[in-house]
Amino acid sequence: MKIALLGYGRMGQAIEKIAVERGHEIVIKKDVEPLSEDLGIADVAIDFSHPTAAFDNIKSCISKGVPVVSGTTGWLDQYDEIVSYCKTKDGSFIYASNFSIGVNLFFNLNEYLAKLMNQVGEYDVSMQETHHKHKLDAPSGTAITLANDVIANSDKNKWSISDPQNKELFIDVKREGEVPGTHKIAYTSTVDSIEIKHTAFNRTGFALGAVVAAEWLKDKKGIFKMKDVLNL
């Protein structure tokens, strides 16, 4: 499979290593500069670029008929526009806030626990996410996905990263050292607490999941999620 790699930071380099190990060829490598190469030489594109570049990268791929997998966060105010464009062009697109297989299992666990806890009503829920000091967006896309699933299954109505008001889900955001990513959801009552946590040890899980998603998306049409890839 010929891959266009859009974004060649730490994640891009990790994706390249795994893709090559799995027998794929990287035919385009771009960082944040505008695309000038012929995307048509690629079977699929993987975008882990920059919030300011992701929208144009994804749109360019769709316009050229190249299936695109994106894990870039911080651009989701334009997500609906991309979805509409992809449908118009009969394109192929997967976005995930996190491609790690373990994190996607964690998403399901979080959603299930939120439904259980909502039936009890004696616990208050909060979140914490910790990432490396180079991460540009806050909270993380993964934290937003987790928060939205909690909100959909609780009496919370939105999330906040500072000074939460009544019915707001507090996300405590931390940026420390070179932490790949840790997410924790805590339910606390006057007598006890229940916590679930996912800790990434490195970027390999994220990179592997992105390559697996690209392998799955090739030759498909439509807009998908990581749940579709993993059949969750």
Distance CA 65, CA 120 (A): 49
For residue 110 the two structure tokens come to: 């979080």
Q: Would you state the torsion angle of the CA atoms of residues 48, 53, 56, 59, taken in this order, to the nearest 10 degrees?
A: 10
Active site residue 131: yes
Catalytic residue among 135, 156, 183, 198: 135
Q: Give the pairing of strands 193-200 and 181-188.
A: antiparallel
> Residue 84 and residue 64: Cα distance in Å, rounded?
16
Alpha-carbon dihedral of residues 219, 2, 18, 109, nearest 10 degrees?
Answer: -20
Closest CA to 69 of 226, 231, 204: 226
Strand extents, DSSP E, the chain: 2-6, 25-30, 44-47, 68-70, 92-95, 124-131, 158-160, 168-175, 181-188, 193-200, 222-224
Distance (Å, whole) CA 107 – CA 104:
5
Q: Are strands 158-160 and 168-175 parallel, antiparallel or unpaired?
A: parallel
Is 24 labeled as catalytic in the residue annotation?
A: no
Check 24, 64, 131, 183 and give the catalytic one: 131
- Half-sphere exposure (CA, 13 Å, Cβ side) for 11? 28
Q: Which residues contact 230 (CB under 8 A, 6 or more apart)?
A: 101, 104
Q: Could you give the residue numbers annotated as active site?
A: 131, 135
